[in-house]
Structure 1
């Protein structure tokens, strides 16, 4: 009787203790979760996660047309590079052909990183957008509030992203005047900023008045990434994008350290193309990657949690509407907007003998990527595959 009373009397106390311990456990878990969140001061990319499985019947329905396209554009496996088509992150078709290095006799494989040229701009823009998304940076912030010596007062981060700064291409104003730059010296991003700040480099057009594709914009964005993160561009890209997404064969090229180790590029006749004084500038180019790594990147950009909805809408809204037409540029992405309401998002690249094309068909969940280290414009023809997957008005003829 006495024992029963004691047990009964302790029930409220026991329940109270359980609730307290439970609450402490939750508080501890919440604190740990908050600590994890606080550690991500970079806005790291997050992988897409599982997507809807595609069926063998679907693969068979499109694979023949892709194979036909490939054989027509690169007969007898003449492509020197990598080619991949995927849906929902699942590879439908891929090919790897040609030499990574002719002198050494090494062949291009799925693990061979090649220079992706201006497709690098999509990755640079992504890092900037993630910093904006995190509140580290404002889209319409004046550039000279970040890069203090930047001379064009009205230019904003948005204008750099969508090529409306009015700046001249650094390749031109450093090439023609020795008083501006001695081409015997390697040019760096910081050098470009110093030249802009001290050499009275005029604008091609008034800031914010028109679209003009210009590599200088993305060289400046790379410096902004460095300023905001406190890391080198190379390390920031690795921590924000490459490592979180498992892009194990992707890196930013450092001409001073890696010249002997990279996959070289070639002219159309197979002659190797050497380096020049512009090869140390990054942000606009100089990312080396593979088609499989870029597929991971594409799916992460299409993940629901990539950016806040309002910012994401800005990315895929044409920012250059002074001339009526279908071609436009968003925030780090090219686009074609047809009157039917259909939109096509992509970015091409060229540097030395490297050509690249990245296409993301968002409605269909399709990714098309082609990379070549031997000069050919056929890389850009991959857009003709879009009609295989959706209502895109490009010419695709099986008989071609």
Structure 2
């Protein structure tokens, strides 16, 4: 007969408890990974284009785009990335200047530049995927997801189309009694300030349009809550990895601030980081024109969203008064009386400027990114006249 000492029995029990705990942790992690793998909605690349432009067509358009580019940025004066494509076929692309003026690192096809507010298009896309995948509802109230959220009438939709009435975080955090600008502001800090500092709505929810970065900072928190992943991981799993966007990432303030491409004033003076540089969703996605082309083509796939939801994406919600400028669900637009529509989003953060133009009817993608401040980035919209009946003038004003 084997006689176990009391101390040995205690040791065995303790060992069993430890092993059980490890097993629970493993199961928990497996469940979390299973959620990502099995139920997380993911973008699907557009495998086959409806048609491929002829060589003659490409050469003709390339000559016109080249002429525009050389007039806009003569003597290699651009500092950024530029691409024009038709049906996924690149007609023209150009990469010029420096990612870093101190190290003389040049901008190449693989250099990720800050997208600024073009990031909103990608954040909105993740939200739309979650809606299409029945994880959330377009008209769902935010306080059913983020329980502490203080505005009961704000919905997913009114965040997407900028009709929430929430105030811009860059303005209310300028007040010393609300935020110490020596501290780095985060998305969770924004939510906490909205809850604890009695920050009133600027106007009644859904009564009018007001473009506001806070809306998309909150949407990023919604993505994290629903997916159980960080925003960086969720975007990678849902969009970047499935589409092969290998040079695209969400900026992490602590990990990436020393390696990310800096931005510059027009006179090449570097612009330093500030207390708002850790916030994501409204900005802080870095990418390249080629990766954004993959993204745009996937959004033009018939499998992107169900037709009812897709129609709502490109519907205008901001036109209280008669005019042409409008905003959909994460996309800007110009709607002319002729019925012609122009879809785009611009961005500007520090010295970074960006233009993302998507013309679904013409299957055209135009992208311009720069890390040295210039308003010329936005002029690339004029190239739309080469592909459709858009009332722009391609000549300089």
Same fold flag (TM > 0.5): yes
- Rounded Cα–Cα distance in structure 2 between residues aligned with 1:362 and 1:77: 31
- How far residue 129 of structure 1 moved from its aligned partner, in angstroms, is 0.2
Indicate the structure (1 or 2) with the bigger Cα radius of gyration: 1
- Rounded Cα–Cα distance in structure 1 between residues aligned with 2:197 and 2:323: 36
- Rounded Cα–Cα distance in structure 2 between residues aligned with 1:38 and 1:252: 18
- Rounded Cα–Cα distance in structure 2 between residues aligned with 1:278 and 1:330: 26
Indicate the residue corresponding to 1:111 in structure 2: 110
Instruction: Number of aligned residue pairs: give it.
Output: 363
SS in 2 for 1:336: strand
Indicate the residue corresponding to 1:42 in structure 2: 40
SS in 1 for 2:238: helix
CA contact (8 A) 2:319 2:325 kept: no
SS in 2 for 1:60: helix
What do residues 62-120 of structure 1 show as CA deviations (whole Å, max 9, x unaligned)? 11110111011111111100000001111000000000111111100000001000000
Indicate the residue corresponding to 1:318 in structure 2: 316
Q: How does 1:47-196 map to 2 (within 5 A)?
A: 47-51=45-49, 52-175=51-174, 177-196=175-194
**Structure 1 regions of 5+ residues with no counterpart?**
1-35
- TM-score after normalising by structure 1: 0.89
- How far residue 321 of structure 1 moved from its aligned partner, in angstroms, is 3.0
SS in 2 for 1:154: coil
CA contact (8 A) 2:36 2:227 kept: no
- Rounded Cα–Cα distance in structure 1 between residues aligned with 2:274 and 2:391: 40
- Rounded Cα–Cα distance in structure 1 between residues aligned with 2:258 and 2:88: 33
1:245 to 223, 243, 246: 243
Indicate the residue corresponding to 2:4 in structure 1: none
Q: Which moved more, 1:74-83 or 1:370-379?
A: 74-83
- Rounded Cα–Cα distance in structure 1 between residues aligned with 2:275 and 2:156: 27
- Rounded Cα–Cα distance in structure 1 between residues aligned with 2:320 and 2:379: 28
1:334 to 332, 335, 338: 332
CA contact (8 A) 2:165 2:210 kept: yes
Query: Which stretches of structure 1, 4 residues or longer, exceed 3 Å deviation after superposition?
Result: 36-40
For the aligned residue pairs, the C-alpha RMSD in angstroms reads: 1.3
- How far residue 40 of structure 1 moved from its aligned partner, in angstroms, is 3.7
- How far residue 38 of structure 1 moved from its aligned partner, in angstroms, is 9.9
Indicate the residue corresponding to 1:304 in structure 2: 302
- Rounded Cα–Cα distance in structure 2 between residues aligned with 1:258 and 1:93: 31
Q: Which moved more, 1:185-194 or 1:62-71?
A: 62-71
- Rounded Cα–Cα distance in structure 2 between residues aligned with 1:38 and 1:166: 33
- How far residue 171 of structure 1 moved from its aligned partner, in angstroms, is 0.4
2:259 to 248, 258, 261: 261
- Rounded Cα–Cα distance in structure 2 between residues aligned with 1:262 and 1:77: 24
- Rounded Cα–Cα distance in structure 2 between residues aligned with 1:280 and 1:124: 16
Say if 2:270 is the partner of 1:272: yes
What do residues 160-202 of structure 1 show as CA deviations (whole Å, max 9, x unaligned)? 0000011111001001x21211111100000000000010112
- How far residue 234 of structure 1 moved from its aligned partner, in angstroms, is 0.3
SS in 2 for 1:244: helix
Say if 2:209 is the partner of 1:215: no
- Rounded Cα–Cα distance in structure 2 between residues aligned with 1:179 and 1:118: 28
- TM-score after normalising by structure 2: 0.90
- Rounded Cα–Cα distance in structure 2 between residues aligned with 1:103 and 1:256: 22
**Structure 2 regions of 5+ residues with no counterpart?**
1-33
- CA spacing shift, 1:76–1:63, aligned 2, 3 Å: same
- Rounded Cα–Cα distance in structure 1 between residues aligned with 2:356 and 2:306: 23
- How far residue 59 of structure 1 moved from its aligned partner, in angstroms, is 0.7
